[in-house]
Structure 1
Amino acid sequence: MTINCKGRLIDLSSPKVMGILNITPDSFYDGGQHKNEKDILVHVENLLNAGATFIDVGAYSSRPNADPVSEDEELKRITPIVNLILKQFPEILLSIDTFRSEVAKQCIEAGAAMVNDISAGKLDDNMLPTIASLHVPYIMMHMRGNPQTMQQKTDYENVVKDVLFYFSERITAAKALGIVDMIIDPGFGFAKTTEQNFELLNKLELFKMIEKPLLVGVSRKSMIYKTLETTAKEALNGTSVLNTVALQKGASILRVHDVKEAMECIKLVESLSC
């Protein structure tokens, strides 16, 4: 199973790690940590040295009840950072975490490699046509509503069945436009209760039937720290446990804050199948 990133075929039959770079002031775990160019470049270099294949850059916090950010503000935040990173690391595979087609377009044209959309095109009607025209890999996540309303939209009859149906519909819409490289993300923590998050993880192997690479992003999320009665800062061990479960159930990409530990999870799980 491969995806084409800027002419490079990335083999996802061996799981990969996507390191997180938040340039928002209000992200749930690392908001506001990377405030200047030097800090950003050091952080990116550390993620790459630890083994990240992709770096996911986001300028719009998608945590529950986060304040909305205008498109102009999102572009103002993210475009200089994309240019900065690509100048320093020209071979880097940048993923752009946005649900806005214009942000995706400008960042891809600047040299980013793929788009990570929390709404799978449902918050911007131009997103799927834009991805089709750009010919880049597209991560489509499951979410109901938007970051301001999603936590009031957890009334599923069957969360696993509903999420599978959602991806079936979104993949059909994307294929109709000619989008080839698609990755699915069940959206842990997005319009889901803690119990629903664990139900999805418990039945994650069912997503293999979609026959698309599976991205899992549980890093330091509330499903971990609320269950353990701790904080996001203290949730690394719990993150590693759930990343291990996700790998055993078929995850192709782990989206994480802590790349070294995720790489260790992959190495150990792959050793089980030797």
Structure 2
Amino acid sequence: MVGTGLKQNLFAVARPDKGRIGVAALDLSTGQSVSILGDQSFPMASTSKIAIAATFLAGVDKGIYRLDSKYPLMIPVASRAFSTSVAPVKPGMELSARSLIEMMITRSDNAATDAMLKAVGGPAEVTKWLRAHGFQKTRIDRDIATLVRDDGEFDPATTVDVRDSTPPEEMVKLVAGLYQGQWLSQSSRDVVIGAMTRTVTGRGRIKAGLPTGTSFGHKTGTLNNTASDVGFVKLPDGRVIAMAIYVTGQGGRPQRDARIAEITRTLYSGFANPRIAASATNDNTRAR
């Protein structure tokens, strides 16, 4: 790899010349971190489903909801883009909250996500939960049906749309906090973290950048001209790295996936090498 430290190596593979790239990573054992554009907003796409699940599970811990309660899938009804402020949906088959969370995380099922989003009271309630726990910029403004229907209004490679967005550093804080058992009971924590280890989407992203057999969990996101993957990765010595990678542009989806894999490979190698990892800090002074 080029350079003498993780930060330099990361800058080499997260170049912004073909579209904005935001990266943040944190060693949960040492507190060492690294980021590129980590404080800038990027489209969450389906990585927002982690926050939606956490909001519902926090309600379970308070006795407001139950994991065995059933809710209907929210099925999109065909409508023209931007024709209404909220895309129309219709109720479908009823499933338990536990099953819906499993579907929304492992398979990124949108109808299941909107079922959970409706259960907690809508996007504003998720943002409210986030603000209550110190997330100042991460926000959810639309349900998934509306987000998907109206996708493409802006090019995320050149335009920052703060709706339904997060800075990579805040997403890393969310993943790390959930993994470490903040905000949720152990049983609720295990629901979302366990589901992340069973995710089947994004085989060419974080998974493709890790050595075979590596223990990890993640959640992908995909929208117009943007791809993302966020999660946690266990190193051979037992340390866990939380990471969030948001990529725009690059020429197409295969190129975005490949860039996420390359960034993952760089983060894994860097944090696994103590000499390289020693250079990791929170630094957003370059590649703005």
TM-score (norm 1): 0.28
Bigger proportion of residues as strand: 2
Higher RCO structure, 1 or 2 (CA under 8 Å, sep 6+): 2
TM-score (norm 2): 0.27
